[in-house]
Amino acid sequence: DGGITQSPKYLFRKEGQNVTLSCEQNLNHDAMYWYRQDPGQGLRLIYYSQIVNDFQKGDIAEGYSVSREKKESFPLTVTSAQKNPTAFYLCATTTPRGTGELFFGEGSRLTVL
């Protein structure tokens, strides 16, 4: 619901494996974002994209990669270079008013075993 869909909701990974989290939106919005949330902490920006084929690093981009080949899709890959990948990952886009507020997907919880 809400126009932004993340999958999978839960994901388990072994150390050393890459994993890709999906984020799709049907709101026809240009801007999309990935945030990471750790227990008891705020949301930290990983990457964001303002337009197709363009994206910018956020505050904690190391060990992550993204692509923006289509307007509706902004997948996040957690690589083996990310030292502590266990976290709750939230994808977001701007709301229809486009005035700055974010609308989040339901999140993907990644656990590294």
Given the rule CB under 8 A, which residues bind another protein?
31, 33, 35, 40-45, 48, 50, 58-59, 90, 95, 99-107
- Considering the complex, what minimum distance in angstroms separates the CB of residue 108 from another protein? 11
Q: Which lies closer to another protein via its Cβ, residue 43 or residue 79?
A: 43
Q: Which lies closer to another protein via its Cβ, residue 58 or residue 75?
A: 58
Helix (H) or strand (E) holding 43: strand 43-51
CB atoms within 10 A of CB 88: 15
The DSSP call for residue 70 is: B
Q: How far apart are CA 101 and CA 40, in angstroms?
A: 22
User: Which of 46, 27, 6 is closest to 94 using CA atoms?
Assistant: 27
Q: Which lies closer to another protein via its Cβ, residue 24 or residue 80?
A: 24
- Considering the complex, what minimum distance in angstroms separates the CB of residue 17 from another protein? 25
